[in-house]
Amino acid sequence: MRLKDKVAVVTGASGGLGAGICGAFASEGADCVVVYRSDRAEAEKTAAKVAGLGRRAEVVRTDVSDEAQVKKLFATTHDRFGRLDILVANAGIGVSRPLLDSTLDDFERVIRTNLIGTYLTVREGARLMAGRGGGKIVTMSSVHGLGGTHQGSLYEATKAGIINFTRGAAFDLSEWNIQINCIAPGAVPVPKDPPPAADSALYKAWMQYTPLGRFGTPHDVARTAVFLASPDTDWITGQVISVDGGITAGPLIPSFNHYGPKPKME
């Protein structure tokens, strides 16, 4: 087991990628703090999966955009487990809106959760790690942090910011033996965000530009998170790994604007 007896905090773990990462960590021997903001029932399901794999789980409600709540999260982690070895800053929200129709409130909302939330989570997690000799941090960007598309500028700005935040943090955290790396997932359908119909133009466009010819799964991303959380990456930091079926190897990402209906505000 690559993560035997490690303690991991995973934000945004009530479903989707976060739940998949918790399950993969537990299968590799880690205990998990399952962090959620609004859906406790789903977070409890994630915790039950961790427990079913023979590992300890703690469910903690946290709005990562709130500094006091983030500090409390890591105080709870210390009280419950005594240490922190792995952190995955996965919590985030999406916003799809044409730039000229957007509002400052739209932008501030996505910045507070995606960018400020990542900053607060990494800062407080790293403070706990620094006192115990180091650790592993994984941030979560997106292929939309590497390129633009219609109606995505607000979201894409935050995901691009996470990438360079990770690169800069790698320097500051190196003296504490903390390695921080970033995953940029491609199209990974989850129950709350299902894939387009197989006969739709958007589905065909994604497949046309995805060399591996399929959408991803939470397990695809989780396996990469396990790698980045393991001792295999002791000499890897400040890097971005695109887990996207190869779509960013090409020149573009299909634009939602061309393959209606237009996305709605989340």
- What is the set of active-site residues? 155
List strand residue ranges (DSSP E) for the chain, in order: 7-10, 31-36, 57-61, 86-89, 135-140, 178-185, 240-243
List strand residue ranges (DSSP E) for 67-129, in order: 86-89
Name which of 25, 16, 4 is nearest 193 in CA terms: 16
Token couple for 121: 């989570």
User: What are the CA-CA distances from residue 40 to residues 44, 49, 132, 185 (Å)?
Assistant: 6, 14, 30, 25
Name which of 81, 83, 86 is nearest 136 in CA terms: 86
Q: How far apart are CA 59 and CA 260, in angstroms?
A: 38
Between helix 16-27 and helix 218-229 the angle, nearest 10°, is 50
Residues 6+ apart with CB under 8 A from 208: 254
Q: How far apart are CA 19 and CA 10, in angstroms?
A: 8
